[in-house]
Structure 1
Amino acid sequence: MGSQSFETTTAFETLRCVDCDEHHDPAVVTHQCPDCGGILDPSYDLSGVELTAEELATRPFDSMWRYEELLPFPRETAVSLGEGATPLLACPSLAEEMGVEAVYLKDEGRNPTGTFKDRGQSAAVTAAAGHGADSVALNSAGNAGQAAAAYAARADLAAHVFLPDRAGFTQKAMTEIHGADLRVADGEITDAGDAYWETTAAADEEWYSTKTFVTPYRHDGKKTMGHEIAEQLGFESPDAVVYPTGGGVGLLGVHKGVGEFRDLGLVDDRPALYAAQAEGCAPVVDAWESGATRHEAVPATEIDTACNGIAVPDPGASPLLLDAIDESGGGAVATPDRAILDAAVTVARSEGIEVGATCAAAVSGAFELAERGVFGDDDTVVLLNTGAGNKDVDTLRAHVGERETA
């Protein structure tokens, strides 16, 4: 790596290991805990943060960096493409169908590369640049790889992206268009991960990882979704948030973000969090329903879903995710692919909103939770559309064709 000053915000104090509780200097430690290999979480001293609703009202709603006091790095040093500041759209037809007071859809498809992954890669690539890295690397199901390629290009860094062959054409094409070194592995995201580890171990130069929970900063960037949801609802937490869940980074981010607003007195409490998965790959749901404290990995031969973005058979941070779900009073739900794709079409035709095929797991999951009587008739429910509908347009169009010919 090269050398560069590592500038942080005042409140960002340390990286705390969630496993052994050791604290580390973020200017020195770049990734996982050097003592035990555990996940590091940016830790903040909020006692000196004077962030109020009145102060936020004076700032433009232009990117996630409007919350810079609660982020690791100052806005002026951020590698940014204007990520965040996505709309929260009222969905009255969905609310009526679910029998609740209000349904809102947080449309992360409006991000620069079309998904919420931009928030995490903005923070992670900012860290890489601050640490003087020359290149970044990761494996991904697709969207994070595309985002990493874009933010690396913005920072003038090389990028090495490992995707499974089942990743979408758009993600593969745009990764290369941004100038990244794309390597495609046969199989699933875990196979792309194996290729990543084998290649990085043999590389002549050091590649700075922006992998989920290897870098401490991806989930911290994504917590700004929680900040925005609370602010957009007038500094009220919704009753429930339903999140399409693969590795669970975004859901953990929302939990942390709303928790920070609660600690600052901006909201009263966190929402109940619900992880929504596809039945063909639902390790988090299986763990939740069995009362386990961590998941059992889904064998590659048993993965049976077209929802590529959440087809994560071995989510390494499942203990954190299950704890967050439990602490929030939420749950987990799995629905079949047909219901997920039907939900994407329903939202497009009843609300005019384009929801990604994978992301529609949040919508079908919410319908299932409503059917089970989980929501009250005066509840406010927020659904996360983590990616643009055109990311998986072939899947959605094929599904519509099948419905019309059935």
Structure 2
Amino acid sequence: METTDAFAGLECVACGAVADVEAATHRCPECGGHLDPRYDYDAVSLDRDELASRPFDSLWRYEEVLPFPREAAVTTNEGATPLIDCPTLADELGVERVLLKDDGRNPTGATADRGQTVAVTAANLHGASDVALPSTGNGGQSAAAYAGRAGLESHVFLPARSGFTNKAMVNVHGGDMNVVGGRYADAVRAFEEAMAEYDGDGGGENDDGEEWYSLAPFETPFRREGQKTLGYELVEQLEWTVPDAVVVPTGSGVELAGLYKAATELLELGLVDETPALYAAQAAGCAPITEAFEAGRDAHEPVEYPDTICGDIEVPDPAASTHVLEAIRETDGGAISTDDHEILESAVTVAQHEGLEVAPSPAAAVSGAWELAERGAFDGDETVVLLNTATGNKEADVLRSHLMGQGV
């Protein structure tokens, strides 16, 4: 398998065992824990001048800190999304500067493309014929797109409440869409039942010789590797100045975990000398990370009855809550939750005052930042980055319905 020079294998975050990427595709062969790609940072030749000489065209411009080289990538030039000043939001939050990292401008309209380009590349290099995952929506659409580009079959398990666009585009990309009654937890169970028919570490073959390869968040070690490029882009776009805070809409937590890894790598490589405070923003109707943070726990307790319009971040039992909680605590960040009305109002406000289209779920980052400001989390001289994980037109009907409910 073709890997980058500095890539040193997969390390188990639970027991510390190191596995070869060709032998272990998903879980630790020793204890079953999550695996995390590791690098020999002394072997990474990457500095500010080198990056300045490269076109800002794709997340694969950071291939030295990714497991696979750009020439092997299944890519549609994802990443390299704009970082946009929002002066009206800055005034309303009472801070010096607010910027929106608009990852809704990725090829399928969502930040999920960052993770799927790396994860599907891994599946392709591992010789998989089929990929499979449960998804709240955007990740499934993205997986189907990248699988189609790689010539792989995709099997996506979506809850019935997923948006029409996500469902439609899974089929348009040639994916096998499995709509499961209920919510995300029901889709996860259906996915697990389907995967139980196959052998192997995260995949295998059935009697027909079909091979499935899991792209579930944190089950594959590679999705957060793609997501970490957000952190590299942010500091480079800010001319190597680290923002004071980054507010991240959080469901599974893969984006936040990726940003934390980027922060530690940027320090290790000497490209920056500090880390931003990372904040997880959730909907009050499904906020297991926020509840665990506020209670001082190291892991979440599953939400028994999730209830929020923000389906893309409605993940009641996030698989890697310990990693997310570590990330926000180690960076002196935090977790915040706001109710659906505040979240939808935030999406509308951004559209009307800044001209930017933010989907309902990522608007939790905007309403979360407002709540943080009201609680006195900011002094007034901060640079705050808000992550938009999906374009607003994916769920325009939800935002329009909210306006109609206000008599607009």
Taking structure 1 as the reference length, the TM-score comes to: 0.97
Q: What is the distance in 2 between the residues matched to 1:80 and 1:363?
A: 30
Q: Do residues 351 (structure 1) and 321 (structure 2) align?
A: no
For the residue of structure 1 that corresponds to 2:407, the secondary structure is helix
- What residue in structure 2 maps to residue 78 of structure 1? 73
- What residue in structure 2 maps to residue 296 of structure 1? 301
Q: Do residues 102 (structure 1) and 97 (structure 2) align?
A: yes
Q: Do residues 331 (structure 1) and 334 (structure 2) align?
A: yes
For the residue of structure 1 that corresponds to 2:211, the secondary structure is coil
> Structure 1 residue 127: deviation in Å?
0.3
1:144 is aligned with what amino acid?
A: G
**1:188 corresponds to which of 176, 183, 192:** 183
Q: Do residues 230 (structure 1) and 235 (structure 2) align?
A: yes
- What residue in structure 2 maps to residue 3 of structure 1? none
Q: Do residues 120 (structure 1) and 123 (structure 2) align?
A: no
Q: Do residues 211 (structure 1) and 234 (structure 2) align?
A: no
2:246 is aligned with what amino acid?
A: V
1:103 is aligned with what amino acid?
A: V
- What residue in structure 2 maps to residue 285 of structure 1? 290
Taking structure 2 as the reference length, the TM-score comes to: 0.96
Q: Do residues 134 (structure 1) and 129 (structure 2) align?
A: yes
| Structure 1 unaligned blocks of 5 or more | 1-5
> Structure 1 residue 403: deviation in Å?
1.5
Deviates most, 306-315 or 189-198: 189-198
Q: Do residues 361 (structure 1) and 359 (structure 2) align?
A: no
Q: What is the distance in 2 between the residues matched to 1:295 and 1:192?
A: 20
1:110 is aligned with what amino acid?
A: R
Q: What is the distance in 1 between the residues matched to 2:141 and 2:191?
A: 16
Q: What is the distance in 2 between the residues matched to 1:164 and 1:218?
A: 21
- What residue in structure 1 maps to residue 256 of structure 2? 251
Q: Do residues 149 (structure 1) and 147 (structure 2) align?
A: no
For the residue of structure 2 that corresponds to 1:254, the secondary structure is helix
For the residue of structure 2 that corresponds to 1:298, the secondary structure is coil
Q: What is the distance in 1 between the residues matched to 2:287 and 2:62?
A: 33
**2:226 corresponds to which of 218, 221, 227:** 221
Question: Equivalences for 1:327-406 in 2 at 5 Å?
Answer: 327-404=330-407
Q: What is the distance in 2 between the residues matched to 1:376 and 1:17?
A: 39
> Structure 1 residue 202: deviation in Å?
2.5
- What residue in structure 1 maps to residue 308 of structure 2? 305
> Structure 1 residue 258: deviation in Å?
2.3
Q: What is the distance in 2 between the residues matched to 1:48 and 1:39?
A: 25
**1:35 corresponds to which of 30, 37, 42:** 30
2:160 is aligned with what amino acid?
A: D
CA deviations 1:232-270 (Å, max 9, x no partner) are 011111000000000110011011112211211111111
Do the aligned residues in 2 keep the contact of 1:39 with 1:213 (CA within 8 Å)?
Answer: yes
Q: What is the distance in 1 between the residues matched to 2:22 and 2:84?
A: 39
Q: What is the distance in 1 between the residues matched to 2:316 and 2:49?
A: 44
Do the aligned residues in 2 keep the contact of 1:160 with 1:182 (CA within 8 Å)?
Answer: yes
Deviates most, 190-199 or 281-290: 190-199
> Structure 1 residue 34: deviation in Å?
1.3
**2:154 corresponds to which of 155, 159, 162:** 159
Q: Do residues 64 (structure 1) and 69 (structure 2) align?
A: no
Number of aligned pairs? 398
> Structure 1 residue 89: deviation in Å?
0.3
1:238 is aligned with what amino acid?
A: P
Do the aligned residues in 2 keep the contact of 1:134 with 1:157 (CA within 8 Å)?
Answer: yes
Q: What is the distance in 2 between the residues matched to 1:202 and 1:75?
A: 34
- What residue in structure 1 maps to residue 45 of structure 2? 50
- What residue in structure 1 maps to residue 21 of structure 2? 26
Do the aligned residues in 2 keep the contact of 1:102 with 1:380 (CA within 8 Å)?
Answer: yes
Q: What is the distance in 1 between the residues matched to 2:29 and 2:99?
A: 41
> Structure 1 residue 404: deviation in Å?
2.5
Q: What is the distance in 1 between the residues matched to 2:179 and 2:260?
A: 33
| Structure 2 unaligned blocks of 5 or more | 199-205
Q: What is the distance in 2 between the residues matched to 1:50 and 1:195?
A: 44
Do the aligned residues in 2 keep the contact of 1:137 with 1:159 (CA within 8 Å)?
Answer: yes
Question: Equivalences for 1:173-184 in 2 at 5 Å?
Answer: 173-184=168-179
Q: What is the distance in 2 between the residues matched to 1:36 and 1:189?
A: 27
Q: What percentage of residue pairs aligned between the two structures are identical?
A: 58
Do the aligned residues in 2 keep the contact of 1:259 with 1:269 (CA within 8 Å)?
Answer: no
For the residue of structure 2 that corresponds to 1:123, the secondary structure is helix
Do the aligned residues in 2 keep the contact of 1:152 with 1:158 (CA within 8 Å)?
Answer: yes
1:186 is aligned with what amino acid?
A: G
> Structure 1 residue 290: deviation in Å?
0.3
Q: What is the distance in 2 between the residues matched to 1:56 and 1:81?
A: 20
